[in-house]
Structure 1
């Protein structure tokens, strides 16, 4: 039985750009000095195989670099704000529906007990519990 010959996998421009982005994050977070960064960046853009690119970032804490990426943090904050907006939209839709039902029952049956206060207050507490931590913690999202 013969063993397969492992051929190096070629890389494209997108792979080189991802490696360059990681190297830039390593520079901004203090893991590389400018000289080392420039050498690795030059090597990254002339690399032909995945092994060459992997060798450039093998000694860097890639997971930490990505977690502390300012673009990633901004995206998480935008997603958190968007989730609050959707929660608020759902809440307001529910308020309109229960007030419409209350008004219809009041006009047709003459029962004017304001029961919508209970679902409005209950769901309102949920919206506040979702929105206030984002407002007072500065919109940061847990890692």
Structure 2
């Protein structure tokens, strides 16, 4: 059976991959590519890839697609499937409180109040707090 241009190109691409992986040296690659491009039948293409490891098709691959972890049945029944907003709010509030303590220690130890820079950390606290409250309002409906 006669080989087409796409068949010859597929073999040449696989040979290029083998060269890039170090499985073929440049002379052997050049020789095999010349044979691939001059092939007229599938029989002429046979043997060019026999000693090279093949690729595994998707259907035989060991890699599994990512699937999210299932929610516990009790949480799903109660409608409590996402606490991300509340956790983010708590984390942001903790960061604000730590920054405020650092500001207070540095201000009192120097004897005068510095600019209250922890206010900038308060911005994410407000944003996540509003988000957590609106999510809770949506879930209760």
TM-score, scaled to structure 1: 0.42
With the length of structure 2 as denominator, give the TM-score of the two structures: 0.43
* Higher-Rg member (1/2): 2
Higher-helix-fraction structure = 1
